[in-house]
């Protein structure tokens, strides 16, 4: 039988990023596993795309969704619904942002788009600071500020974007610096960029750990240092927590918390994992920023009862079962196992990560040149042996990305690392 892809590829745009020579058709899942149309079982080390945050087919979420579907799926966002208000209360409380207001969207792109809308309206400026190698979504405004070439699509933008250093540690002019010197150099770069612009910049948008960019993280404290400069200029800080939120990094509930003294951002955006696969995104900002728009606005599907019911059930499960703690414990063990699996493999330049967000950067042996072919080969070999992983990276998709559901068990971590070792050693 030919695959679903082979039969229907004529209707799929060429630019849709699909994994594998013959893209998979997934039919169902349970826990940390999914099955394809031929009945093959896979350990899911990418959790959808960090979207299945707790587990596949989690009974608590399934029950909440089916009960809500039995009552009403969508009541119109012109009215209120209880799951939305309850989820907004919980997210506001967890965000760390004082006097927080929450607006729900259907994706991370739309959340960041809204954050940019708020920041530019609040500051009456269309200048945005973004990090090199960043990714914030695929709408015209978010893709327009994306610093990662692989995902920047056209390079055109409705916003004027100024890029600063700091998102990627091991490359570029600041490679090899100590944490302290790296932060100093990035702050000097930020000051330099600001010194060259005439209009007031609206906001800096940044992922605490770059996701699509290859799970690269700046030293703790970078954003606290940036914040001091931004505050002097009245520039807002948008923390894009689409990948780093909800405890994924193990040590912290939000990525911004790794930057301690920085305090909460002015605007926080989230999506991916909160709905456990249901399309839930959103923006949190303090009231004076959120309320700076004086025109009416809605998201037709943002805050729909069915997605909100999923978000509430998922968040409750996550907190009650301390999945952040699990991400720290099992993630700590997994990164050790991955380091051992990668030891001596000539293509592996670095294994890095935090909690259940682990990257393995591949280069051409003995050089700094990205090695997307090797990354593709490891993905195929892992799939053959029943393991799904992701890829991404600076300049090219040459970093393997591991981000399983946060309920991953120790034995699943060990099983996955063993398959990964085989795949890496087949290079
Ligand atoms: N922001 C970050 C950090 C992301 O990683 C992504 C998606 O990968 C987005 C925003 C866009 O989210 P979505 O694909 O839900 O629109």
Average model confidence (pLDDT) for the chain?
Answer: 94
In this model, does residue 284 exceed pLDDT 80?
Answer: yes
| Protein residues whose CB sits closer than 6 Å to any atom of ligand 1 | 107-109, 112, 135-137, 207, 211-212, 240, 242-243, 271, 281
In this model, does residue 136 exceed pLDDT 80?
Answer: yes
Confidence of residue 260 (pLDDT cuts 50, 70, 90): confident
Q: Which of 49, 209, 271, 276 to mutate to test the pocket of ligand 1 (most atoms within 8 A of CB)?
A: 271
The kind and range of the H/E element at 427 are none
Helix/strand/coil for 15: coil
Residue of the CA atom closest to atom 7 of ligand 1: 137
The pair of structure tokens assigned to 397 is 């998709």
Confidence of residue 400 (pLDDT cuts 50, 70, 90): very high
Domains and CATH numbers, the chain: 4-57+322-425 (3.90.1150.10), 62-321 (3.40.640.10)
In this model, does residue 395 exceed pLDDT 70?
Answer: no
- 62-66's contacts with Cβ under 8 Å and 24+ in sequence apart are 63/313, 64/309, 64/310, 64/312, 64/313, 65/278, 65/306, 65/309, 65/310, 65/313
Task: Note whether 421 and 384 are within 8 A (CB).
Answer: no
> What pLDDT does 183 receive?
96
Which range, of 145-159, 260-274, 277-291, 339-353, averages the lowest pLDDT?
145-159
- Tell me how many helices (H) and strands (E) the chain has: 13, 15
In this model, does residue 296 exceed pLDDT 80?
Answer: yes
- Quote the ligand 1 centre to 108 CA distance (angstroms): 5
Burial environment of residue 87 by CB neighbours within 10 A (0 to 12, 13 to 18, 19 or more): buried
Which range, of 188-192, 196-200, 214-218, 344-348, averages the lowest pLDDT?
196-200
Strand arrangement, sheet containing 33-36 = 26-30, 33-36, 41-44, 387-388
Confidence of residue 175 (pLDDT cuts 50, 70, 90): confident
In this model, does residue 15 exceed pLDDT 90?
Answer: no
Average pLDDT over residues 18-40: 95
> What pLDDT does 424 receive?
98
Q: Is 124 left (phi over 0), alpha (psi -120 to 50) or beta?
A: left
In this model, does residue 262 exceed pLDDT 90?
Answer: no
> What pLDDT does 295 receive?
83
- Quote the ligand 1 centre to 422 CA distance (angstroms): 31
Average pLDDT over residues 8-34: 91
Q: pTM above 0.90?
A: yes
In this model, does residue 245 exceed pLDDT 70?
Answer: yes
In this model, does residue 1 exceed pLDDT 70?
Answer: no
- Quote the ligand 1 centre to 110 CA distance (angstroms): 9
- DSSP single-letter state for residue 390: E
Per-residue pLDDT of 95-118, as tens digits, reads: 999 999 999 999 999 999 999 999
> What pLDDT does 199 receive?
76
Report the alpha-carbon distance of residue 373 to residue 178 in Å, rounded.
Answer: 31
What ligand 1 atom has the least distance to the C-alpha of 112?
10
In this model, does residue 268 exceed pLDDT 80?
Answer: yes
Average pLDDT over residues 365-375: 94
Give just the sign of the alpha carbon dihedral 40, 41, 44, 47.
Answer: positive
The residue assigned the tokens 């080969």 is 377
The packing angle between helices 410-425 and 323-342, to 10°, is 30
Report the alpha-carbon distance of residue 49 to residue 322 in Å, rounded.
Answer: 21
- Quote the ligand 1 centre to 181 CA distance (angstroms): 30
> What pLDDT does 390 receive?
96
In this model, does residue 214 exceed pLDDT 70?
Answer: yes
In this model, does residue 77 exceed pLDDT 90?
Answer: no
Per-residue pLDDT of 44-63, as tens digits, reads: 999 999 999 999 999 999 99
- Quote the ligand 1 centre to 109 CA distance (angstroms): 6
Confidence of residue 6 (pLDDT cuts 50, 70, 90): confident
Q: Which of 48, 105, 136 to mutate to test the pocket of ligand 1 (most atoms within 8 A of CB)?
A: 136
Per-residue pLDDT of 308-324, as tens digits, reads: 999 999 999 999 999 99
| Angle (CA) 358 245 130, round 5° | 85
> What pLDDT does 148 receive?
84
In this model, does residue 396 exceed pLDDT 80?
Answer: no
């Amino acid at each position: 039988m030919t695959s679903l892809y082979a039969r229907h590829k004529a209707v799929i745009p060429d630019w849709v990023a699909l994994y594998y020579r013959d893209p998979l058709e997934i039919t169902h899942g349970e826990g940390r596993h999914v099955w394809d149309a031929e009945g093959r079982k896979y350990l899911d080390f990418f959790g959808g795309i960090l979207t299945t945050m707790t587990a596949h087919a989690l009974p608590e979420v399934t029950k909440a969704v089916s009960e809500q579907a039995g009552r009403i799926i969508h009541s119109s966002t012109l009215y209120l619904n209880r799951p939305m208000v309850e989820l907004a209360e919980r997210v506001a409380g967890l965000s760390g942002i004082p006097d927080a207001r929450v607006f729900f969207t259907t994706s991370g792109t739309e959340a960041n788009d809204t954050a940019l809308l708020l920041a530019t309206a609040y500051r009456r400026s269309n200048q945005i600071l973004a990090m090199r190698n960043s990714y914030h979504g695929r709408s015209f405004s978010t893709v327009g500020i994306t610093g990662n070439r692989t995902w920047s699509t056209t390079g055109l933008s409705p916003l004027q974007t100024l890029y600063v250093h700091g998102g990627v540690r091991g490359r570029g002019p600041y490679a090899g610096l100590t944490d302290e010197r790296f932060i100093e150099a990035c702050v000097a770069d930020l000051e330099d960029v600001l010194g060259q612009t005439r209009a007031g910049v609206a906001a800096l948008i940044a992922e605490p750990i770059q996701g699509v960019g290859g799970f690269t993280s700046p030293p703790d404290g970078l954003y606290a240092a940036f914040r001091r400069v931004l505050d002097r200029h009245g520039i807002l800080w948008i923390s894009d927590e689409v990948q780093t939120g909800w405890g994924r990094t193990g040590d912290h509930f939000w990525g911004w918390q790794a930057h301690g003294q920085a305090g909460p951002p002015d605007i926080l955006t989230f999506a991916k994992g909160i709905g456990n696969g249901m399309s839930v995104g959103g923006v949190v900002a303090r009231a004076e920023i959120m309320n700076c728009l004086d025109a009416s606005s809605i998201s037709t599907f943002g805050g729909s009862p069915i997605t909100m019911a999923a978000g509430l059930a998922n968040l409750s499960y996550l907190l009650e079962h301390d999945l952040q703690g699990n991400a720290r414990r099992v993630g700590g063990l997994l990164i050790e196992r991955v380091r051992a699996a990668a030891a001596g493999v000539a293509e592996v330049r670095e294994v890095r990560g935090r909690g259940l967000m682990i990257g393995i950067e591949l280069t051409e042996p003995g050089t700094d040149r990205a090695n997307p072919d090797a990354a593709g080969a490891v993905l195929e070999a892992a799939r053959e042996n029943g393991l799904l992983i992701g890829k991404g990276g600076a300049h090219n998709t040459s970093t393997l990305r591991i981000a399983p559901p946060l309920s991953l068990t120790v034995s699943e971590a060990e099983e996955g690392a063993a398959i990964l070792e085989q795949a890496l050693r087949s290079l």
